[in-house]
Structure formats: C-alpha cells, structure tokens
Structure 1
Amino acid sequence: MSFTSCSGCDGWPGNLAIVQTARLYPSSQCAARVALCKHMARNSPQTERIVMLTELLADEPETPRSLADIARHLGVAKATCYPMVVALTEAGWLIRHPSRKTYRLGPALIPVGRAAETATDVVDLARSVMHELADASDMASIAFVQSGSDVVVAEVVQPVGGRRGTLGLRLGDKVLLAPPIGSGIAAWYPPERREEWYALGGQNLGVDVDVLRATYEPALALVRERGYAMECMEQQQHSLADAVSELRGRGVGGHRSTVALREARKLLSADAVVGDIDPEGSYQPLSINAAAFNRDSEPAVVLCVADASRPMSGVRTAEIGEMVRDAAARVTAAMHGRHP
C-alpha cells in the first residue's frame, strides 16, 4: 500500500487517500477508487439544497416560488442554485410557470411518492411507540388497519411485565367495523361514510339506525374532542376473550377466526362506547383507542390498549386514554400525516 494526495475531490488539498499499489490500481487518481478519503463522510451541500428545496415546496404546495425565494431559503446566490433548479425541472421534479418564472413540485414526483407510501409500512413506524404504550399502561397494545368493512389486527405488543389479554385477538384477525366497534375511526368519517357505519351496526345489533345515530353522535363528538375512544362491557359469566377462544376452537384459520369474532361481538350492546369519564367512577375497558392519520387526514392505523384485567379508577382510565391519544399523535407525525 502507498499513500498519495487526493487529487480529484473538489479541491480539498492535503487529504490523504489510502491507495493500493499501481499493480492493482494503475491510475490511482482519487480516493473514490477505494472510498477511503477522509472528507467523503462530509455532508453534500448540493444534496442538502435539494432536500431543503423539496421540503420548502412540499410544505406549501399551492404556493409557487421564484428563483429569488428559493435562493433566499437555501442561503445561497441565485447563480448557485440555478443549475440545480434547471436540472430538477428537466427531470420533471419541478415545473416552471412560463410567464411568472416560478416553480412548484412536478408530476415526476407523484409515482415516487406513491412508491414511498407503499414501501413505508405504517405498522413499522408505530411499533416502537406501541412498546412504550404497552409498558406505560401495563396492557397489551394492538394496532388495527382498515380493510374494507373490517379492521385487521396488524400487530400485537405485550408489556415488559408479561403477557396480558388481547380480547382473544391474534395477528391477522378481522373484526367487522360496525357499532359498537370502531368509534375511534368512525368519529372522523365524513357524514355519508358514518351513515354506512350506522347501517352495518343496525343490521348486526338489531337496533334501529335512528336510535344508533342518536346514541352515538354525542359520543363521537366527544371522541373528536378528547382524541380517543373507549369501549366497556358489563362483566358477564364469560368475558369477550373467553367467548372468542371458545368459538374459534383450536388452531388458526382465517374463516374460523372471522366467524368467531363476528359471533362474539353479539355479546356487546349498543352502549358499549363510553362517553364522559367520571373521575370517581370505576371502569374495566375492553379497548381504549385512537387513530393515527395519513397525509390526507384519514385514519391510517388505530392504536389501542385492550382487555383490562381488573377495574381501574376514572382518573387512571383517563390517564391511559391520554397516553393512547399521544401515542397515535406521534405515529401521525412519524408518517408526516395531518390530524383532521
């Protein structure tokens, strides 16, 4: 091995690159040959400018920016950023208004964004938050994602203190999204979608839709106000988890688990959703849940803690509700989503 000055790295004299002998690298022109130049770990100013420009235009997509605006934001002269802007425009990443000479994000970024959205699993973003939530609440934390008229169990995380109940739910289980299940999502539905939710609930509970609407509208308004939903049930001879386990039987099967869950939900009454929480009261929640939102302000994943093993005070119940709400907000931020 011999040492030679780096001669081809943007005029940074005095940097030494370890270059193999001429027998292996006859032209030994630059440290790029062996990727050992000291300053190669430095940030690339040009790359940083591209990132800053993209973020600037994405933050206010309806506001076109002039070259002077862009240069001012990047802290460089117009002559410095002009070649970059031209190259991005030619690539379709930017579009330039022909008369105003302003720039906005271009159509070539649309498939890039779609690919990134597909590649980024929201559950991966939520997993570390779920671990913290499970440990803080000492309850199992479950993530649900919507699939048609169902929600699907996408992840289950247990607290560090040991295994806790999950309402008999397993990864991949589907639960029909209809009253009294799903108030944490339905609270954010547009009116027409919420009517579909009520209609499904009426069919499954045997309750008039008008009665459901009158019961749930105040509760859903409260969910929007405080940021989380809670469902409870009167303690019966069999818990919901026991019912699911008995109906499911041994083994795991998609159809069998779906049937079991749809039958077990019949144990729930229309008033399972809890409205105001009385600090002096006692609650044993089936679920305390909150939605995390995507860029379109739509529920992307629902985080919940489930199957409380014993009653808890109203104060503690509200504390856990706030934990769930804050956890969902962190996931929303991680996916660059927007709360409605």
Structure 2
Amino acid sequence: MSSPEPSRRASPPTERVVAVLEFLARHPHDRFGLSELSRRVDLSKPTCLGILTTLTEAGYLVRDAGETSRDKTYRLGPALITLGHIAQESLRVSPAARDELRRLSETFGATAALSGVVDDRITLLDLVAPPGTPATVRVGQSYPFAPPVGLMFVLWDDHAVREWLHKQPTIPLRTDTARFERVISECRSAGYLVERLTPGGRRLYALMAGMSNRLPDELRALLGELVSDIGERVYLRGEDDPEARHDISVIAAPVHDHHQRQVMVATMQIGHALTDDEIDSRASALVETADAVTRSLGGVKATW
C-alpha cells in the first residue's frame, strides 16, 4: 500500500497576505482604501492595515495619500516588477523571448504567448497582445495539466506523451487511437499544432483556470460535454474542403532545451476563420518565433 499523503499545513497569516495581493492583481487599474479593501478580502481593518503597511514599506504596494487618512488608497507597487522579472528569468523567459513575441504579435495583430508546465500545472509565462485587446488571461494564470488538456505541451516528446497519457484524466475520455497517432505524426512533421475553435472549446480553459487537479464531479461532467477525445479539436489538412475557411482557436509550436526536450509552447491566438494558406503563413512565422526562443535558451530543435 502507498503511504498516505502528508496533511496540508496551511499558514493563515500568509493566506491573508496572498488574498490582498491577488485581489489587487485582479484590479490593476483601481485603487482601494482600507475600509473597502478589508471588506472585499474579508479581513478585519486592523489585520488588513497591518498587511498593507508591511507590504507598502517593502515596496510591494504604493500608498496614495489623500487629504485625510481615510482617503489613502493602495495599489500594486514597483517591487513586484522586480520579482516578476526574476520569476520569468527563473522560468527561462528572457527579454529576447518577449521581443520575439512582440514581433509576431505586431505582424499579425494577434496575441502571442509562451506557456509551460510548472509544478504540474500549465502556466502562462509571458504574453504580448495588440493594443486595445481585452485581457482574457493574465501571466501566471494556470490550469490542470492532464488529458485531454495539454497535448501541445507533450506532443514533441515521446517520453512526455507517455507520462501525460498515464495521468488521471481531467474528465472521462474516449480515445480514437488511430486518429491520435495521426495527430502526433502530422503535427511533428509540420512542426506545429492547429486547434479548432468550437463553441464548447471557447470556454474550456476559462472554466479550468485556477482549478485544482481534482475537479468537482459537476465540473468534470460539464467539461466532458466540451472535450471528450484526446486531440479531437486538432485541425489536420485533408479533413475538410481545402478551399473552405476553418474556425481556428490557436496555433502552437514547441520550444526545446539543449537536450532537445520540449520545455515550452509558443502560441498565437486566432479566434476566427482562416484558409489553409492563412494558417500556413501564421504557422510558419510562429515556428520561427519558437525556434528563436529555443536558440535563446541554448536549446536544440528536435527533429522527426
């Protein structure tokens, strides 16, 4: 028998600090006074004031002074910028990688991003969006990494594919083995993956964002209606009329380390219909971006 997992040791004081920071992060353009902030994060005023004072002294928050003490408001501070940059660098997201994302975004007027699996969760590591694009996701957002979600993060690594398939599925699955093998073969040959935009798929990642790896039964059932076959949303050439326009959600390409292991995924958000030629032009540019990020890591592109 396997030994039981150790009991979870929570730190309520730390959780209260995290609650304040996460709330302010969800409202980056707003400022909050003590009374409203303590009410919104469900803390007593003295406790909230102590947290705000300490975070402000450390530079993690900025206090904007009003005419009276009651008018003082708080917002995120500059020290968090330094922490964010250090965290990105530790996850191998360099300024050079961001420059590559920016060039891709400007060329196609689309959102470009880098994501990876961190602590067994798919995590958004960096993102560049066209000016004025509504923020539907944010850097650091994560969701469970288990079938059927996460194929693009293992597709170019045989060992990673096997490990991923052995994970407890997020939802009950049916698997078309022949098609799955075709997906792997054709995506590796092309160097990229194209995911269809479907009514259910539009909401899949939003539903999963922030969830634990053990989803409630009700949510598992709902997700089962959205996606229930590994790779079913992958678009492969020859499945539809080549002259038709295809509703595409995202195009993805792998980033590799010096062992030729897939460590990240570069993506371009689409969200509308494209012809095969339009898919090809965007995919080619995305692969170039992923290859440039691979080189910036000192990585070596895997060949098939």
Greater Rg by CA: 1
Q: How does 1:197-276 map to 2 (within 5 A)?
A: 197-200=164-167, 203-208=169-174, 211-235=175-199, 239-240=202-203, 244=206, 254=210, 266=224, 267-270=226-229, 271-276=232-237
Return 5+ residue gaps in structure 1 as ranges.
1-117
In the TM superposition, what is the alpha-carbon distance from 1:136 to its structure 2 partner?
1.7
Return 5+ residue gaps in structure 2 as ranges.
1-88
C-alpha distance in structure 1 between counterparts of 2:215 and 2:270, whole Å: 20
Secondary structure at the aligned position of 1:275 is classed as: coil
Matched, 1:288 2:258: no
In the TM superposition, what is the alpha-carbon distance from 1:146 to its structure 2 partner?
1.5
CA deviation string 1:153-180 (max 9, x = no partner): 01121125x316x7x4322111333344
Q: How does 1:129-208 map to 2 (within 5 A)?
A: 129-160=100-131, 162-163=132-133, 168-191=136-159, 193-200=160-167, 203-208=169-174
Letter in 2 for 1:215: R
Letter in 1 for 2:133: R
Secondary structure at the aligned position of 1:301 is classed as: strand
Structure number with higher relative contact order (C-alpha < 8 Å, ≥ 6 residues apart): 2
CA deviation string 1:67-115 (max 9, x = no partner): xxxxxxxxxxxxxxxxxxxxxxxxxxxxxxxxxxxxxxxxxxxxxxxxx
CA 215–120 in structure 1, closer or farther in 2 if over 3 Å, else same: closer
C-alpha distance in structure 2 between counterparts of 1:196 and 1:256, whole Å: 19
Secondary structure at the aligned position of 2:170 is classed as: helix
Q: How does 1:31-42 map to 2 (within 5 A)?
A: none
Give the conservation status (yes or no) of the 8 Å contact 1:123–1:154: no
Secondary structure at the aligned position of 1:200 is classed as: coil
C-alpha distance in structure 2 between counterparts of 1:171 and 1:226, whole Å: 28
Q: Once the two structures are aligned, what percentage of the paired residues are identical?
A: 18
Normalising by structure 1, we get a TM-score of: 0.52
In the TM superposition, what is the alpha-carbon distance from 1:207 to its structure 2 partner?
1.9
In the TM superposition, what is the alpha-carbon distance from 1:129 to its structure 2 partner?
0.5
Matched, 1:326 2:291: no
Residue of structure 2 aligned with 1:128, choices 85, 92, 99: 99
Normalising by structure 2, we get a TM-score of: 0.58
Letter in 1 for 2:269: A
CA 119–183 in structure 1, closer or farther in 2 if over 3 Å, else same: closer
Give the conservation status (yes or no) of the 8 Å contact 2:148–2:170: no
Give the conservation status (yes or no) of the 8 Å contact 1:173–1:257: no
